[in-house]
Amino acid sequence: MQNVKRRDFIKLVGSAGAVSGLTAMGIPTSVLAKASGKVVIVGGGFGGATCATYLKRWGPDIDVTLVERDSEFITCPFSNEVIGGNLELKDITHSYDGLKKRGINVVHDEVTGIDAGAKKVSLKGGQELAGDMLVLSPGIRFIYDRVENDTKVEESMPHAWKAGPQTMLLRKQLEAMNDGGTVLILPPPKPFRCPPGPYERASLIANYLKNNKPKSKIIIVDSNTSHSKQKAFHAAWDHLYGLGEGKMIQWIPENEGGKLESLDPGAMSVTTTFGDTFKGDVVNFIPYQKAADLVENAGLTNKDGWCDVNQDTFESKVAKGVHIIGDSCVAGAMPKSGHSAASQAKNTAAVIVSRLAGQEPPEPTYANTCYSFISPDFAISVAAVYRFQEGSIKRVAGGVTPPYPEEKERFYKNEAKYTRGWYKSITSEGWG
């Protein structure tokens, strides 16, 4: 794997984007115009909304139907900003009107069943929708097997790992906490949605506490031995908040006693495999995760609970003509992120449009960037380009923001500006 400088990397990501542009893949527009058929997409999140957009852009005659349970989409990206008190929920809420204007049939209903062989889905409202191809991007489900009453845990120890009411509950608990309180953040073992997410959350909660409740502290009791962008996060924490026992942020990795054994929502405490018990005034318990129920019930998951796909086409390994993208699937070296889901969505749209036009799909290239705020004007990022090689997706180039103070403050401030630019661009691409 190559480490590259930002300027060169932007060129690489640009070329990955260009590969997603069909004309750059050498398929003439006249051929694409011949693509017609019906595609049903389940899930209007990062994967589903982006796939619908690109299917319609590249194959205007394709009948694209998107089924989404909720009437609006609230993004997990930037939800840590809401938890930290810097944004409101409405700032990260997107309507589906933009997709409708693009000519996509948006159906708000819950998919209750998938007939993968017939490429048909059944809706709670009683309707059935069939397509020549299906695209599934339903996200994740949470596994609560350490505790008996999961609803009670979500109420007292909110995960806030799907944005919406849970985000607001965690925010309200932080507002209600006294100065001098302890916030526990409990990241699940990998793999999980958004590998840097728990650590960005710790950063933005620390920013809130520093400005409002400076005697408080955060303990990250981590079921992992290492985490995403670790050096860059730790250097920035040390610089802005203080890192270590007795400082504002303390990180306890798995090998130093961070692995959870049990939870007691009544006592707001957690016990680790080392026998230590930690008590929090606010506890953010993020359960471990698997692919959404829907794909599990349809028999599309493997023994670990995730969907195996051919990583060049994202077609299910067990159901022909059914493409599974985003957090639900196993995508080689790509992390479970909104950016990854959108990149997989574009390549899947290219595969489907090509096949509906009677062409071979183009060679795929994928990209991901994950930005994380340390404070509203200090951010870090990890970015990579991926290619399909020897049967799976491999990371071929990329890099991480150098830890502070390897770069001047201005550098991290600019990263915060890029973070906001990234959000604007990915959400307008997805939802208009």
User: Is residue 81 part of the contact set for ligand FAD (CB under 6 A)?
Assistant: no
Judged by DSSP in three states, 288 sits in: strand
User: Is residue 398 part of the contact set for ligand FAD (CB under 6 A)?
Assistant: no
User: Is residue 294 part of the contact set for ligand FAD (CB under 6 A)?
Assistant: yes
Q: Using CB under 6 A, pick the residue from 61, 70, 276, 409 that binds ligand FAD.
A: 70
Instruction: Please give the helix or strand (H or E) that residue 114 lies within, else none.
Output: strand 111-115
Measured between alpha carbons, how far apart are the two ends of the chain, in Å?
35
Provide the 8-state DSSP code for 74.
Answer: E
d(C-alpha 43, C-alpha 69), whole Å: 8
User: Is residue 384 part of the contact set for ligand FAD (CB under 6 A)?
Assistant: no
Q: How many chain residues bind ligand FAD (CB under 6 A)?
A: 37
The residue at minimum Cβ distance from ligand FAD is: 45
Stretch that binds ligand FAD, among 21-29, 135-143, 252-260, 396-404 (CB under 6 A): 135-143
Stretch that binds ligand FAD, among 7-15, 77-85, 302-310, 311-319 (CB under 6 A): 77-85
Whose Cβ is closer to ligand FAD: residue 272's or residue 344's? 344
User: Is residue 431 part of the contact set for ligand FAD (CB under 6 A)?
Assistant: no
User: Is residue 158 part of the contact set for ligand FAD (CB under 6 A)?
Assistant: no
Task: Answer left, alpha or beta for residue 21, where phi above 0 means left and psi between -120 and 50 means alpha.
Answer: beta
CB atoms closer than 10 angstroms to residue 112:
13
Q: Using CB under 6 A, pick the residue from 371, 388, 404, 431 that binds ligand FAD.
A: 371
Q: Which of 333, 395, 345, 401 is CA-nearest to residue 372?
A: 401
d(C-alpha 354, C-alpha 384), whole Å: 26
d(C-alpha 238, C-alpha 347), whole Å: 40
User: Is residue 48 part of the contact set for ligand FAD (CB under 6 A)?
Assistant: yes
User: What does the block give as tokens for 120?
Assistant: 């048909």
Whose Cβ is closer to ligand FAD: residue 35's or residue 330's? 330
Q: Using CB under 6 A, pick the residue from 68, 81, 154, 254 that binds ligand FAD.
A: 68
Contact yes or no for 153/160 (Cβ under 8 A)? no
Whose Cβ is closer to ligand FAD: residue 79's or residue 272's? 79
Report the site for ligand FAD in 90-119 (rule: CB under 6 A): 110-111
User: Is residue 156 part of the contact set for ligand FAD (CB under 6 A)?
Assistant: no
Stretch that binds ligand FAD, among 32-40, 134-142, 241-249, 348-356 (CB under 6 A): 134-142
Q: Using CB under 6 A, pick the residue from 223, 284, 316, 337 that binds ligand FAD.
A: 337
Q: Using CB under 6 A, pick the residue from 38, 57, 69, 190 that binds ligand FAD.
A: 69
Closest distance to ligand FAD from the beta carbon of 27 (Å): 25
Q: Using CB under 6 A, pick the residue from 119, 227, 234, 339 that binds ligand FAD.
A: 339
User: Is residue 66 part of the contact set for ligand FAD (CB under 6 A)?
Assistant: no
User: Is residue 386 part of the contact set for ligand FAD (CB under 6 A)?
Assistant: no
Distances from the Cα of 316 to the Cαs of 309, 319, 392, in angstroms?
4, 5, 14
User: Tokens 């090509």 appear where?
Assistant: 354
Read off the amino acid at residue 374. I
Whose Cβ is closer to ligand FAD: residue 203's or residue 365's? 203
Whose Cβ is closer to ligand FAD: residue 314's or residue 371's? 371
- Could you write out the DSSP letters of every residue in 166-198? HHHHHHHHHHHSPTT-EEEEEPPSSS-S-TTHH
Q: Using CB under 6 A, pick the residue from 221, 260, 370, 382 that binds ligand FAD.
A: 370
Whose Cβ is closer to ligand FAD: residue 27's or residue 202's? 202
Q: Which of 409, 425, 401 is CA-nearest to residue 6?
A: 401
Q: Using CB under 6 A, pick the residue from 81, 154, 327, 415 that binds ligand FAD.
A: 327
- Could you write out the DSSP letters of every residue in 84-102? TTSS-GGGGEEESHHHHHT
Instruction: Please give the helix or strand (H or E) that residue 345 lies within, else none.
Output: helix 338-356
Q: Using CB under 6 A, pick the residue from 59, 139, 265, 403 that binds ligand FAD.
A: 139
User: Is residue 73 part of the contact set for ligand FAD (CB under 6 A)?
Assistant: yes
User: Tokens 């849970």 appear where?
Assistant: 166
Q: Which residues, at least 6 apart from 184, have a Cβ–Cβ distance to it below 8 Å?
A: 218, 219, 220, 221, 270, 278, 279, 280, 282, 283, 284, 285
Q: Using CB under 6 A, pick the residue from 20, 65, 80, 343 that binds ligand FAD.
A: 80
Read off the amino acid at residue 260. L
- Residues found near ligand FAD in the complex (CB under 6 A): 42-48, 67-70, 73, 76-77, 79-80, 110-111, 137-139, 161, 193-194, 197, 292, 294, 326-328, 336-339, 341, 370-371
